[in-house]
Amino acid sequence: MSATCLRAHFREALDDSPPIGVAGARSVQTPRRRTPWLLAPLGPLLVAATASHAQDIEPRAYSNAPVGVNFLIGGYVYTRGSLPTDPSIPLTSSHLSTSSAVLAYGHVFELLGQSAKISIAAAYGGLGGNAVFAGQPIQRSTEGLSDTSVRVSTGLHGAPAMNLEEFRNYRQDLIFGASLTATLPTGQYDSSRVVNIGTNRWSLRPELGISKAFGSLTLELSAGPVFFTNNNFLNGHVRSQAPIISGQAHAIYDFGNGIWAALDAQHFTGGSTAIDGQGNDDLQGNWRVGATLALPLNANFSLKLAASTGVSARTGNNYDLIGAFVQYRWGAGL
C-alpha cells in the first residue's frame, strides 16, 4: 500500500477518532532491615500507554517481599507533550495531555523457594489535544478504558521466599530475577478509527533483571524485548510490528523508616511497523529519565510520587509525566 493510499484511509478514519489511554504495573520494596510498617510500595508505576507498552520506568521491580502480602493500589497519572501514539500512524507535531485513574492488585507468593509476585492493572482515562495529519491540523478529545496489563516476576537468586518474621531480618545483597508481562486487548477499540485507547492486539515482554545493594544504595538493571501480535487495523488492513528492545537503569537510595528515592533512566529501540506488508520508516530510538519517591503513611498505607521526561526520541514522541499512587497492603500477618 502506498503512502498516499495510507493517508487517504487515515484521513477518513481520523474524524472523531479516540486517541490513547494508560497501562502498566510493577513492584517495589526496601533493601534494609524491615518491620511491617516499613514495607515500601509494591507497584505500580503506570505510564501513558504506547503502541509498544515499552516505556514503563520501574525502579525496584526485582526486590524481595514477604510471602502472602497483598497490595491494592489506586493512583492518578498526568502526561503532556508529544505522546507516543501508534508509530504506523503519520501524525506529527502532536500536543496532547492525558489524565488517568489507575487501579491495580498485587500478591507475593513462593515459587521454587524464591519470592515471586503477580500483579494486574488497568486504567480509565481521557485524552485531548491537537496534532498535524498530512499537513492539516486536527483536534481530538476522548476517554475510556485502557488495555489490561498482567505481570509475573520471580527471583532466580538472592530473593528467598520468607514469611514476615523472617523478612524483618533480611538484607538484600545480589538479586537476579525474571519477569513476563502480558498486555491484553481489553481497551476501547473502534476498527474504523485510526487512534484508539486500546491496541486490539496482545503483547508479551520477557525480561531479566539484576539488583545489587551497597549499604543504603541499590543499583538495578533490567532489559528485555517486547513482542506483538498482528492485528486487524483500520477497516480490515493488517498491521505488524517488529519487537522493541528496552533497557532500564536505576540508582535507589534508602533513607530508612521506609523512605526511598530513585533516579531512573531508560532506552528503547526497534519497533518498526508495516501495514499490509508495506514497511514504514518509523524505527524507534528513545531515551527517558525520571525520579521516584516513596513515603510510608502508616502500617498499611504508603504513597509513591513519580515523574519522568523524554530526553531524545527518533520518532518525536517526547512527553512529560507525573503520577501519584496510594497503596494499601494486608496479609502475611501485617
Average pLDDT over residues 34-58: 44
Which of residues 280 and 195 earns the better pLDDT score?
280
pLDDT at 40: 41
Domain coverage including residue 266: 3-330
> How far from chain centre, in Å, is Cα 97?
17
pLDDT at 316: 59
pLDDT at 26: 32
Nearest to 120 by CA among 5, 219, 25, 260: 25
Average pLDDT over residues 273-300: 87
Number of domains in the chain: 1
Average pLDDT over residues 282-306: 91
Torsion angle of C-alpha atoms 309, 312, 318, 319, degrees rounded to 10: 10
* Unique residue bearing C-alpha cell 523457594: 113
Grade residue 273 by pLDDT with cuts at 50, 70 and 90: confident
Residue 314, helix vs strand vs coil: coil
Q: Cell triple for residue 9?
A: 484511509
pLDDT digits (tens, 9 = 90+) for 211-234: 999 999 999 999 999 999 987 777
Grade residue 24 by pLDDT with cuts at 50, 70 and 90: very low
pLDDT at 241: 87
pLDDT at 107: 97
Percent of the chain residues topping a pLDDT of 70: 75
Is the pLDDT at 174 greater than 90, yes or no?
A: yes
Which of residues 283 and 287 earns the better pLDDT score?
287
Percent of the chain residues topping a pLDDT of 90: 49
CATH code of 202's domain:
2.40.160.40
- To the nearest whole number, what is the mean pLDDT of the chain? 80
pLDDT digits (tens, 9 = 90+) for 130-154: 777 556 677 777 789 989 999 999 9
pLDDT at 275: 81
**In whole angstroms, what is the distance from residue 259 CA to residue 156 CA?**
26
Which of residues 7 and 325 earns the better pLDDT score?
325
Q: Cell triple for residue 256?
A: 530508612
Is the pLDDT at 11 greater than 70, yes or no?
A: no
> How far from chain centre, in Å, is Cα 105?
15
Is the pLDDT at 160 greater than 90, yes or no?
A: yes
pLDDT digits (tens, 9 = 90+) for 50-103: 333 445 778 999 999 999 999 999 999 998 887 655 555 556 667 778 889 999
Dihedral pair phi/psi, residue 72, rounded to 5°? -125, 125
pLDDT at 6: 43
pLDDT at 48: 36
Dihedral pair phi/psi, residue 302, rounded to 5°? -145, 165
Which of residues 12 and 297 earns the better pLDDT score?
297
Question: What's the whole-model pTM score?
Answer: 0.81
Residue 156 and residue 179 in contact, taking contact as beta carbons nearer than 8 Å: no
- Sequence letter at residue 291: A
Highest mean pLDDT out of 127-131, 154-158, 274-278:
154-158
Is the pLDDT at 259 greater than 90, yes or no?
A: yes
pLDDT at 92: 63
Q: Report H helices in the chain.
A: 3-14, 164-167
